[in-house]
């Protein structure tokens, strides 16, 4: 297997992404308590966006895929000016939990039991529902 | 060329910085738009600014507006580093005076090509 030319930045990525993931989880938990918090939606959008950008550049495609769909959910919510539904909060929470597991095993790939495609598809369906409801 | 990298992500600053150094450029770093303005004023000889969009304190668009408001920096090209989800915002940055953009994830060759393009326009 070809060596990832970004490997030298992996430790910094994990450390920084961990901080962004903490922000994402905090925002999602705040939204679970009260969905009508636009500032928390914005925190979730920015933290997932940053994780996604870094992961894509690092070549961590599964992390980029899942974080992109979390970002897109909050982009669509921002556009529509609506609050997340309980399903959306639950989806974002599951994605955050999956990202945490993926960060922990970056060196060995996506861990068993994590299905980025299924998570991404679920978030896409939730995002599409925001546009359809407008 | 002396290039200022403006990004709140340390990982991205390191990746972009390594790429630019490999291309023979001299780099400086700033973590947000406000730090960028300070860095630009502290030195001379700048050739390019490469800026992220989402940053705390002062975001990419606010930074472009602030830099272009300074007469001395009007000719300085600013390249936005972005993702496709921010494309709707890029036109705002271009309208404010940004010279171009590059999409993440990017390869070294893409940065080289963009910088060559900006140099050709400037000359």
Residue A105 domain-assigned?
yes
Residue A1 domain-assigned?
no
Q: What is the nearest CA distance from B71 to chain A, expressed in angstroms? A: 32
Q: Which residue has the higher pLDDT, A113 or B14?
A: B14
Q: In B, which residues are within 8 Å of A42 by CB distance?
A: none
Model confidence over A43-68: pLDDT tens digits? 999 999 999 999 999 989 999 999 99
Q: What percent of chain B has pLDDT over 70?
A: 98
Supply the pTM of this predicted model.
0.86
Model confidence over B65-96: pLDDT tens digits? 999 999 999 999 999 998 877 777 888 889 99
**Does residue B99 surpass a pLDDT of 80?**
yes
Contact flag A56-B104 (C-beta cutoff 8 Å):
yes
Please tell me which of the candidates A52, A57, A68 has its beta carbon nearest to residue B15: A57
Label each residue of chain A as H, E or C.
CCCCCCHHHHHHHHHHHHHHHHHHHHHHHHHHHCCCCHHHHHHHHHHHHHHHHHHHHHCCHHHHHHHHHHHHHHHHHHHHCCCCCHHHHHHHHHHHHHHHHHHHCHHHCCCCCCCHHHHHHHHHHHHHHHHHHC
Domains of chain B: 2-122 (3.40.50.2300)
Residue A39 domain-assigned?
yes
Q: In B, which residues are within 8 Å of A68 by CB distance?
A: 85
Cα–Cα distance measured from residue B89 to residue A7, given in angstroms and rounded to the nearest whole number? 31
Residue A2 domain-assigned?
no
Contact flag B12-A59 (C-beta cutoff 8 Å):
no
State the pLDDT at residue A4. Answer: 65
State the pLDDT at residue B16. Answer: 96
* CATH (domain of A60): 1.20.120.160
Q: In A, which residues are within 8 Å of B8 by CB distance?
A: 50
Its domain, for residue A113, covers 9-133
Residue A50 touches partner B, C-beta closer than 8 Å: yes
Cα–Cα distance measured from residue A130 to residue B1, given in angstroms and rounded to the nearest whole number? 46
State the pLDDT at residue A1. Answer: 46
Interface size between A and B, measured as CB pairs under 8 A: 43
**How many distinct structural domains can be found in chain A?**
1
């Amino acid at each position: 297997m070809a060596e990832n030319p970004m490997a030298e930045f992996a430790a910094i990525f994990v450390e920084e992404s961990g901080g962004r993931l903490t922000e994402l989880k905090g925002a999602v938990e705040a939204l679970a308590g009260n969905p009508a918090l636009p500032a928390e939606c914005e925190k979730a959008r920015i933290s997932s966006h940053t994780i996604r950008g870094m992961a894509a550049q690092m070549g961590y495609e599964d992390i980029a895929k899942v974080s992109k769909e979390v970002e897109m959910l909050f982009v669509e919510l921002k556009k529509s000016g609506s609050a997340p539904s309980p399903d959306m909060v639950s989806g974002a929470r599951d994605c955050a939990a999956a990202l945490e597991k993926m960060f922990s095993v970056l060196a060995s790939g996506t861990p068993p039991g994590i299905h980025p495609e299924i998570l991404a598809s679920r978030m896409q369906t939730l995002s599409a529902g925001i546009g359809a409801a407008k | 060329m002396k290039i200022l990298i403006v990004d709140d992500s340390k990982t991205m600053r390191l990746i972009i910085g390594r790429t630019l150094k490999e291309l023979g450029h001299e780099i400086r770093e700033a973590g947000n738009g406000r730090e960028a303005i300070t860095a630009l004023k502290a030195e001379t000889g700048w050739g390019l600014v490469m800026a992220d969009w989402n940053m705390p304190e002062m975001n990419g668009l606010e930074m472009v507006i602030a830099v272009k408001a300074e007469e001395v920096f009007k000719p300085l090209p600013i390249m936005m580093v972005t993702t496709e989800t921010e494309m709707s915002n890029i036109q705002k940055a271009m309208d404010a005076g940004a010279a171009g953009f590059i999409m993440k994830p990017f390869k070294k060759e893409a940065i080289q090509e963009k910088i060559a393009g900006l140099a050709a326009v400037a000359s």
